Structure 1
Amino acid sequence: MVYIIMICMTVPLLLLMTMLDNKSRLLLGFVLCGMVLAVCAYEINSLVCYSLQLSGPELSITAAPVIEEILKALPVLFFAVLVSDERKQILQLAMAVGIGFAILENAFLLLTYVDEVDIGWAIARGISTSLSHGICTLTVGCGIIFVRKQKKLFYTGTFALLALAMTFHATFNLLIQSQYDYVALALPIVIYAVFWIVRLKGRQLSVQTKI
């Protein structure tokens, strides 16, 4: 089923890419990359779950955050190290990978539990859970811009960024399964709002400095 969903989504988007300029094509390409990585994560998670005899909730707070965050970070790390370290572009592409991952995951869960979902579920998954995936990858993107310039800190810094993303992911999954699910739903939204506030203030300071 997951492969059918991927094909139905990626083929039209691949056709759309032929009509876009280079920047838009790159952004959409990273969204597609996130979708492909979601399928890879599904296969690896299934294998780990079977091998270690984990339940769904156990997998979601142990192995899944590690597997998914490493996979999502790979294209961002490769791009930052081998192509460009432009801050704005890396942040956009990092978010695109996370959102692409969330899109395919949401579609798969929707079809898997179609009789149990409702509009509330769709809103929660569409906003909070999708932001959670995006923020985790965005964290790696934000940090790698600075870590890349410090050769002595590159490996330890990259590990720290991945660990932070994994911890946030696992914490979100743990909270969403508990009585504090409302905290999990609010957490990504609050963090994303703070990110934009800090970013806007940074732009204002930059403009004032130039003046």
Structure 2
Amino acid sequence: MSYYIENIFLCLAVPLILSMLFRKGRQRTFTTFVILGMGCCLLSAYVSSFFAGYYHACTAAAVMEITPVCEEVMKFLPLLFYLLVFEPDKQEVISPAIGIAVGFATFENVCYLTENGAADFYDILIRGVSAGSLHLLCGIALSCGIAYVFRKKWIMVTGTIGALGACVVFHGIYNILITAKGRWNLIGYLFPIFLIFALLVVKKSRFYKKIEFE
């Protein structure tokens, strides 16, 4: 890769790592997962490139079929490790997932800017907000799904796979739309943002509070 994403990762990660020396508790945990999210983005780029080369996939096929799977699985692995090792309460699962999503989206956007430039402000803004919304939605959906099924032995494995699969499908639909032409491209960029606002409405509803305290 001509723009050396490893160097970009170090440039972004080092200040965050240094800031952890002066943080404690949940702040340090969240920062850790942000760094892990950026690391997942770095590794997913290599994994996606490997499978695209192995299967001789064209750019469109790689973006629509390989990238969503690799990225969502890579984001899932740190969260799975956290669940298996630290066994947190279900209320403590969403924040790490958000940290991973934020780190992933931030690093992805920085690499996008490095590769394509930042001359078109509106295009960059829409792309940045939509990609950030996508990863945030996938992180929240995955964490909520896992928090609900992970302590139920009879549905733990299938429920976890189902939640991960739903995120992969959602990510794939987004990639298909943004690579299309005309109005479908615009819909692809906008629908994650609208879903973020819909999620905020649901969060304030009685239905969400009922689920939260079950």
* Corresponding residue SS for 1:62: helix
Tell me the SS of whatever aligns to 2:155: helix
Code of the aligned partner of 1:126: G
Comparing 50-59 with 27-36, which one deviates more in the overlay?
50-59
Alpha-carbon separation, structure 1, partners of 2:119 and 2:55? 29
Q: CA deviation at 1:157?
A: 0.5
**Cross-structure match for 1:33:** 36
Q: Are the counterparts in 1 of residues 90 and 148 from structure 2 also a CA contact under 8 Å?
A: no
Residue in structure 2 matched with residue 6 of structure 1 by the alignment: 9
Q: Which structure 2 segments of 5+ residues have no match?
A: none
Q: Secondary structure at 2:151's aligned position in 1?
A: coil
Q: Which position in structure 2 is the counterpart of 1:91?
A: 94
Of 143-152 and 1-10, more deviation after overlay is shown by 143-152
TM-score (norm 1): 0.90
Q: CA RMSD in A?
A: 1.9
Q: What's the secondary structure of 2:23's corresponding residue?
A: coil
Whole-angstrom distance in 2 between the partners of 1:48 and 1:117? 32
Structure-2-length-normalised TM-score: 0.89
Unaligned 5+ residue runs, structure 1? none
Q: What is the letter of the counterpart of residue 85 of structure 2? A: L
Kindly provide the CA deviation profile for residues 110-160 of structure 1, in whole angstroms up to 9, marking residues without a partner as x: 11112x751112212321111101211221100011101210111111110
What is aligned with 1:157?
159
Is the contact made by 2:102 and 2:132 (CA closer than 8 Å) also made in structure 1? yes
In structure 1, what is the Cα distance between the partners aligned to 2:10 and 2:43?
14
What's 1:142 paired with?
A: 144
What's the CA shift for 1:200? 1.6
1:108 to 94, 107, 111: 111
Partner-residue secondary structure (3-state), 1:54: coil
Q: Which amino acid aligns with 2:199?
A: F
Alignment length (residue pairs)? 206
Of stretches 74-83 and 10-19 in structure 1, the one that deviates more from structure 2 is 74-83
Q: 1:196 aligns with which of 200, 204, 207?
A: 200
Is residue 41–residue 67 contact of structure 1 (8 Å, CA) maintained in 2?
Answer: yes
Q: Distance in 2 between matches of 1:136 and 1:111?
A: 25
CA distance in 2, matches of 1:130, 1:204: 23
2:129 is matched with: 127
User: Percent identity over the alignment?
Assistant: 25
